[in-house]
Amino acid sequence: MNTLANRIFPITTILVLLVIAAGSIVRSTQSGMGCPDWPTCYGLIIPPTTISQLPPDYQNIYANDGIPAEAFDATRTWIEYLNRILGALLGLSVLLQTIISVRTRKENLSRFWASLVLLFLTGFQGWLGAMVVSSNLAPYRITIHMMVAFMILIIANIATYSNRIEKVSDSRLYKFILLAMGMLFIQLGMGTQVREEIDVLAKALNFSQRNIWIDNLSTLFPIHRSFSLLILLVNGYIVYTCKSRIDFWSKVKIPSMFLVAALLISVCSGIVMTYLSVPAMMQPIHLICASIIIWSLHRLSLQFKP
């Protein structure tokens, strides 16, 4: 049973990251309404590939039900559908993980409780996804949907690593990691607000004139941009300290290297979005990097926790 758990729990964490990545791609490609209904897609279990598979008046049919169906686009439909498939796979993985945790709760109680919370949050996230679709992609609901995804990632980390990783003793560094996590969530909060502003501008301009999006953002954007320098400094200190301690570098090397890579790519993607008119490809990369930074810092916090 423990061997199975050691395989399933990391898979759950990987699936969480994939779901976050897929959700970001859905958002950046405006594919959120690629399937106007839920849990089916245009009333089908397997979505259509051509408009000929739909009734000629399908938009009116959905409009009568209060659903603003967009013109059919096979690419957007399948992007949204694959996002849902990943979400379903995550749900199955979490369910299996919970069953394993219940059967082994005497051996690992913290994993048991983390898995129960994860099961609840995953179910809530599925319901919230349906609400996002029904609200025609209301920006504030998309933001809540994303923040819950980050919570799921943290709980999945606890379930996967809390009792599997070798602890490292350094209370000062642990406090810096907590500081870095706090700063990151402040940055994420500002980033979601900036993203909501961009969403409003993009819809108002029919997703054109990308060159003026950044210029029309509020003062929150330069604060968000400048705050990233502080985050780089704090995280740079964390990685430098880990690297300089030969006695435990091998134990924390993997999350530390992921942290460095994700920070650098995140900063570069932010620069590209600022000066190259917010290319759609950069938006999911920026969010994926934020997810990996969360995973890395939280993994380190578990390892250094007194």
pLDDT at 6: 67
CA distance 157 to 301: 11
Instruction: Count how many residues are written for the chain.
Output: 306
Q: Give pTM, 2 decimals.
A: 0.84
Averaged over 60-80, what is the pLDDT? Answer: 81
The tokens describing 102, both together, are: 């219940």
Chain segment 230-244, per-residue pLDDT in tens: 999 999 999 999 998
> In whole angstroms, what is the distance from residue 83 CA to residue 80 CA?
5
Among the residue ranges 99-108, 128-137, 283-292, the one predicted with the least confidence is 128-137
Ranking 77-81, 94-98, 205-209, 258-262 by mean pLDDT, the lowest is 205-209
Q: From residue 243, how far is each of 234, 236, 237 by CA, in Å?
A: 14, 10, 10
- pLDDT recorded at residue 5: 62
Dump pLDDT digits (tens) for 175-213: 999 999 999 999 988 988 888 888 888 888 888 888 899
Lowest mean pLDDT among 15-29, 55-69, 192-206, 278-292: 55-69
**Confidence at residue 120, expressed as pLDDT on a 0 to 100 scale:** 92
**CA gyration radius, the chain:** 21
Lowest average pLDDT, out of 63-67, 70-74, 127-131, 195-199, goes to: 63-67
Using alpha carbons, list the distances in angstroms from residue 284 to 56, 80, 258, 281. 34, 14, 17, 6
Q: How much is the pLDDT for 174?
A: 92
DSSP letters, 45-73, are: SSPPSSGGGS-TTHHHHHHHTT--PPPP-
Q: CA 87, CA 91: separation in Å to the nearest integer?
A: 6
**DSSP state string for 90-103:** HHHHHHHHHHHHHH
Q: What are phi and psi of 41, to 5 degrees?
A: -130, 110
Residue with tokens 């990783």: 165
pLDDT digits (tens, 9 = 90+) for 130-182: 777 666 656 667 778 788 888 889 998 888 887 777 778 888 999 999 999 99
User: Looking at this protein, which amino acid is placed at residue 105?
Assistant: R
Res 112 pLDDT > 90: no
SS3 state at 199: helix
Q: What percent of the chain has pLDDT over 90?
A: 33
Q: What is the pLDDT of residue 111?
A: 84
Residue 146 is predicted with a pLDDT of 80
